[in-house]
Amino acid sequence: MAEQRPVQRRPTLADVAAAAGVSRATASRAMSGGPNVSPAARERVWAAVERLGFEPNHLARSLRRGSTMAIGLLVPDVAIAFYARALKGAQETLERSGYHVLVMNTERAADREAAALRTLRAHQVDGVILATSGGYRDIGVPAVFFDNVPLDIGAGAVALCNEEGIGLLVDHLVDVHGHERIAYLGPPAAVMPGEVVSTHRSGRERLDGFRAAMGRAGLALPPEYVRTSDARLTDTVATALTTELLALDRAPTAIVAGADTLTLGVLEALHEQRVRVPDDIAVVSFDEPTHAGLLDPPVTSLDRHDRQLGCRAAELLLAALGGGDGGTTESAIERVPLELRVRRSCGCPVG
Amino acid sequence: MAEQRPVQRRPTLADVAAAAGVSRATASRAMSGGPNVSPAARERVWAAVERLGFEPNHLARSLRRGSTMAIGLLVPDVAIAFYARALKGAQETLERSGYHVLVMNTERAADREAAALRTLRAHQVDGVILATSGGYRDIGVPAVFFDNVPLDIGAGAVALCNEEGIGLLVDHLVDVHGHERIAYLGPPAAVMPGEVVSTHRSGRERLDGFRAAMGRAGLALPPEYVRTSDARLTDTVATALTTELLALDRAPTAIVAGADTLTLGVLEALHEQRVRVPDDIAVVSFDEPTHAGLLDPPVTSLDRHDRQLGCRAAELLLAALGGGDGGTTESAIERVPLELRVRRSCGCPVG
DNA sequence: CTGAAAGCGCTTACAG
DNA sequence: CTGAAAGCGCTTACAG
């Protein structure tokens, strides 16, 4: 409306400087709130910024400063509620410190993870947070792991109390409901050919936790009661494995599912086979499936404070970046506790 | 192990050029596969790239080229399954064309959306795709809308067949199950104070669709049968509104929920009040809640091909960017059809 | 086919 | 308090 500029070009710092009648250096200093700028100059610069609708070019700034204020976030799949919530927690924390977040999906494939890391490096991210699927390699910036943690934990790691969590589930089945034939269906726990050793740490911990809890309870654990899914935790694989469990001579009376997608697969199989939960078989779940309370039946599971996991990972990274305070300097794996949410699938007469 | 370099500094194009014994210009041309490079030079450059583990700095490249190959993606909340899936569809399509995606959550707040757009502009994204919550403003790059579409549709828009979709649901309730007292609980359809006119277009379309379908069926529609939620589609709000519906003198025998989170809120209220679905009341849902089939009861809903919606939006943007082929050049709202998925919550004896 | 040079938009010692 | 100058790492006309 007012003056029509010859070009639609976005205003640059030079435009602002010209409009304010100062040098680019002074304009820059005024904008960044740095010292050594006269109040008068500062005011003219701000006025020009306002008038021109100037917004500094992040690219140029990052290139010059050597820091992008960007953090890469690698997850297997944002469409999985757990990762989506953890992501939001991390994002919120990071944005509060002026960082922004680049999200990449790895689809639980090590090579896609490696490719994503390369991309992130090309974009000069200042750090990464990742739920690794085994494709991690150092890209020269601090890395914080969450959910699944490799042997070398980099700048920090946040994981769940996997063993204790499974223990809570088993103990409940045994102590409250008197189950003796309990099967386990969890994430892979062994090293797959061609994979990095670290990948299945949390799967291993959960399985160890299961064995330990069964041992403590003095219960027999036939090998056919222990099943592990594919690396992608595909629900249809869980459905197939559950069907196998049901076909056993002495079928289990309870199933502990070691991850939320697996739980849904288990329920799917049970629905298909018209096996009633919890009447015919009890089901408990390591993670909370989305809307666990509205499922048929409501699923007893472990609440793992997804958001908090993301927040905490972000805080550790901020600490590593020298910004925030990670709360701790020792680089041990930090464990987030789990809480048992009793619903109906275990046999309790709740909700 | 081999040679230890003095600095841990990342190799730059200059390092590659030096190592290959050519100028930076030639190295650059060799890398980008451009013409006018001798095979010998090309080979030496590639060898140097390999040896040094060089990866071009995207920041510098983007600054120089004036294009970042980055696309901003704005959604209300990635933790909502629909958006997560649409995001993945868009991301896949864009990455196949060499773009990468910056995701931002707006929490359905217009001001957060505006702030996110400013950030995106600062990062010089080449385009944006957004499910707007009313905070859109032009940032000088092509914009494609999906899900919710403003009056000025920018470079393109993909939306659902809102009216037809609601029609499918109502028709099913009427034709198959003979319902006559059908209530509607959907997203806001009216302009809120201080909001951009465009925000609630899809809410309006769904409500219009509901009224139209009821009219076609010759059914009465008492005003108290029509409820709209808050702008954020909070499930607890839906729970409260459902409770009100149940308390009506002549309570409805069926509820059409106009969005997935609302559906979950409706079910929550029904569970709380021990109202049985579909025995006491039928429920149908516009969107598919996650694992609609495992809910109690499995929910009859509209499958809206979330991923495809994201893909299509991405294709339109690519077309606007002059890259891909959008399939169409006219800038009308593109509509994605919806399919009825019959399950048990409507009263059908399925699943 | 090749290289010297300019420049993308910013920031930051360095002199004044 | 201020500005001239160099430089972040790349690309691209332009001359040869």
One-letter amino acid for residue B314 of the chain:
A
Strand partners, B157: B145, B333
Q: Looking at residue B198, what is its pLDDT?
A: 52
State pLDDT tens for residues A18-52.
Answer: 999 999 999 999 988 877 888 888 999 999 999 99
Quick one: pLDDT band at residue A5, thresholds 50, 70, 90? very low
Phi, psi dihedrals of residue B346, rounded to the nearest 5°: -90, -15
What is the pLDDT at residue B214? 97
Inform me whether the pLDDT recorded for A195 exceeds 80: no
Residues of chain A found within 8 Å of residue B8, distances taken between Cβ atoms: 140
Residue B278: how many other CB atoms lie within 10 Å: 20
Using the beta-carbon criterion (under 8 Å), do A87 and B100 form an inter-chain contact? no
Q: What is the pLDDT of residue B19?
A: 92
Say if strands B282-285 and B300-303 run parallel, antiparallel, or are unpaired.
Answer: parallel
Contact B297 A294 (CB under 8 A): no
**Nucleic acid strand D within 7 Å of B294 CB:** no
Tokens representing A192 are 């797959």
Number of A/B CB contacts below 8 angstroms equals: 112
pLDDT confidence of residue A205: 92
Q: Which residues of A touch B289 (CB under 8 A)?
A: 291
| β-bridge mates for residue B237, sequence order | none
* Nearest residue of A to residue B265, measured between CA atoms: A294
User: Are B59 and A78 inside 8 Å of each other by CB?
Assistant: no
In sequence order, the β-bridge partners of residue A283 are A255
Q: Looking at the predicted structure, is the pLDDT value of residue A193 above 70?
A: no
> A14 CA to D2 C1', in Å?
16
For strand C, is any atom closer than 7 Å to the CB of A65? yes
CB pair distance less than 8 Å for B119 and A101: no
A291: left (phi over 0), alpha (psi -120 to 50) or beta: left
Distance from CA of B249 to the nearest CA of A (A): 27
How far is Cα A226 from Cα A234, in angstroms, rounded to an integer? 17
B118-153 pLDDT, tens per residue? 989 988 999 999 999 888 988 989 999 998 888 778
Asked whether strand D has any atom less than 7 Å from the CB of A33, the reply is no
Average pLDDT, chain A: 88
Q: Suggest the residue from A67, A74, A103, A262 to mutate for an interface test with chain B (most B CBs closer than 10 A).
A: A103
- Looking at per-residue confidence, does A62 or A191 come out higher? A62
- Of A residues 40-79, those with CB within 7 angstroms of nucleic strand D are 40-41, 60, 63-64, 66
- For chain A, count helices (H), then strands (E): 11, 12
- Helix, coil or strand: residue B143: strand
Quote the percentage of chain A above a pLDDT of 90: 59
Best probe of the A interface among B12, B67, B68, B78, by most A CBs < 10 A, is B78
pLDDT of residue A1: 35
* Residues 6 or more apart in contact with residue B6 via CB below 8 angstroms: none
B104 touches strand C (CB under 7 A): no
B77 vs A94: which has the higher pLDDT: A94
What pLDDT is recorded for position B103? 86
Listed as ranges, residues in chain B with pLDDT below 50 are 1-7, 194-197, 324-328
Nucleic strand C near CB of residue A29 (< 7 Å): yes
Which residues of B are less than 8 Å from A78 in CB distance?
A: 78, 84, 87-88
- pLDDT at residue A197 above 60? no
Residue A170: Cβ within 10 Å count = 25
> Which tens digit of pLDDT belongs to each residue from A118-144?
989 988 999 999 999 888 988 989 999
Q: Residues 292-351, chain B: which have Cβ under 7 A from strand C?
A: none
The single residue listed with the structure tokens 């499922």 is A295
- Strand C within 7 A of A13 CB: yes
Query: Which amino acid is it at A347?
Result: G
If one compares A199 and B95, the residue with the highest pLDDT of the two is B95
Q: Which amino acid belongs to residue A17? A: A
Query: Which tokens hold the place of A152?
Result: 């070398």
Which of helix, strand or coil describes residue A169?
helix
Alpha-carbon gap, residue A97 to A71, rounded angstroms: 11
Does B289 sit within 8 Å of A140, measured CB to CB? no
Contact across the interface for A291 and B296, Cβ inside 8 Å? no
Query: Does residue A277 register a pLDDT over 60?
Result: yes
Which of A253, A240, A243, A309 has its CA nearest to residue A281?
Answer: A253
The nt closest to B28 (CA vs C1′) is: D11
Closest-lying nucleotide for B54 based on CA to C1'? D9
Q: What is the reported pLDDT for A14?
A: 92
Which nucleotides on chain D have any atom < 7 A from a protein Cβ? 1-5, 7-13
Instruction: Name the pTM for this structure.
Output: 0.82
3-state SS class at A143: strand
Tell me: the pLDDT tens digits for A301-340?
999 888 899 999 999 999 998 854 444 455 678 998 899 9
Contacts of A81 in chain B (CB under 8 A): 79, 81, 290
Q: Is the CB of A319 under 7 A from strand D?
A: no
**Three-state helix/strand/coil letters over B267-335:** HHHHHHCCCCCCCCCEEEECCCCCCHHHECCCCEEEECCHHHHHHHHHHHHHHHCCCCCCCCCCCCEEE
